[in-house]
Amino acid sequence: MVVASHRKESFLLIMSKRYLIRILVLLALAADLSWHYWGAQNSESDKYPNRPITLIVPFGPGGESDTFARMIQKAIADNGFLGQEVVVKNVGGAGATIGSGQARKADPDGYTMLLLHEALITAQASGKVSYGPESFEPIAASGKTNMIIAVAEDSPYQSLPELMNAAKEMPNELVFAANLGAPVHYAGLILEKDLPGAHFRYTQKGGGASRFEAVIGGHADVSAFSLGEYISFKEGGLRAVAITSEERHPEAAEIPTAQEQGFQFVHANMHFWWFPKGTDSEQIDLMAEVIKKCMATPQVQKQLALRLSEPFVETGDSMKELLQMRIGKIQSVDSTSPDVLPNIPLWVALLTAVSFGVLLVSRLFPASVLEKSINAGEGEIAGEVRRGYWKTAVSFVMVTALYLLALEYIPIDFRIFTAIYMFGVALLCTGFEMVGLKKVVAKSYVPEMIVLVPLIVFFVFQSFFSIQLP
The span from the CA of 231 to the CA of 55, in Å, is 28
In 303-325, which positions are buried (b, 16+ CB within 10 angstroms) versus exposed (e)? bbeebbbbbebbbeeebeeebee
The span from the CA of 91 to the CA of 99, in Å, is 5
The span from the CA of 184 to the CA of 223, in Å, is 8
Phi-psi region of 199 (alpha: psi -120 to 50; beta: other; left: phi over 0): beta
Give Cα separations from 355 to 228, 392, 431 (angstroms): 50, 11, 17
* Other Cβ atoms closer than 10 A to 129: 21
Predicted TM-score of the model (pTM) = 0.62
If DSSP states are collapsed to H, E and C, what string results for the chain?
CHHHHHHHHHHHHHHHHHHHHHHHHHHHHHHHHHHHHHHHHHHHHCCCCCCCEEEEECCCCCCHHHHHHHHHHHHHHHHCCCCCCEEEEECCCHHHHHHHHHHHHCCCCCCEEEEECCHHHHHHHCCCCCCCHHHEEEEEEEEEEEEEEEEECCCCCCCHHHHHHHHHHCCCCCEEEECCCCHHHHHHHHHHHHCCCCCCEEEECCCHHHHHHHHHCCCCCEEEEEHHHHHHHHHHCEEEEEECCCCCCHHHCCCCECHHHCCCCCCEEEEEEEEECCCCHHHHHHHHHHHHHHHHCHHHHHHHHHCCCEEEEEEHHHHHHHHHHHHHHHHCCCCCCCCCCCCHHHHHHHHHHHHHHHHHHHHHCCCCHHHHHHCCCCCHHHHHHHHHHHHHHHHHHHHHHHHHHHHHHCCCCHHHHHHHHHHHHHHHHCCCCHHHHHHHHHHCCHHHHHHHHHHHHHHHHHHCCCCCCC
Q: CATH number of the domain at 52-337, please?
A: 3.40.190.150
Indicate the domain borders of the chain.
Answer: 52-337, 344-463
If DSSP states are collapsed to H, E and C, what string results for 62-91?
CCHHHHHHHHHHHHHHHHCCCCCCEEEEEC
The span from the CA of 265 to the CA of 243, in Å, is 9
Q: Which amino acid is at 29?
A: L
pLDDT at 309: 86
Helices 344-364 & 380-409, crossing angle to 10 degrees? 150
pLDDT at 110: 96
The span from the CA of 458 to the CA of 29, in Å, is 13
Radius of gyration of the chain (CA): 29
Pairing of strands 310-315, 112-116: unpaired
Give me the tens of pLDDT residue by residue for the chain, a chain 470 residues long: 544 555 545 544 444 555 555 555 556 655 555 555 445 444 444 689 999 999 999 988 877 888 899 999 999 999 999 999 999 999 887 678 888 989 999 999 999 999 998 888 888 887 777 889 999 999 999 988 889 999 999 999 999 999 999 999 999 999 999 987 788 888 999 899 899 999 999 988 877 888 999 999 999 999 999 888 898 899 999 999 999 998 998 888 999 999 999 998 888 888 999 999 999 999 999 999 999 999 999 999 999 988 888 889 999 999 999 999 888 888 877 655 434 444 444 454 455 555 544 544 454 445 444 444 445 555 554 455 455 566 767 777 777 777 777 766 665 677 887 888 777 777 776 665 555 556 555 555 666 677 777 777 777 665 554 445 55
The span from the CA of 179 to the CA of 169, in Å, is 25
pLDDT at 40: 47
Q: Which backbone phi and psi does 22 adopt, to 5 degrees?
A: -70, -35
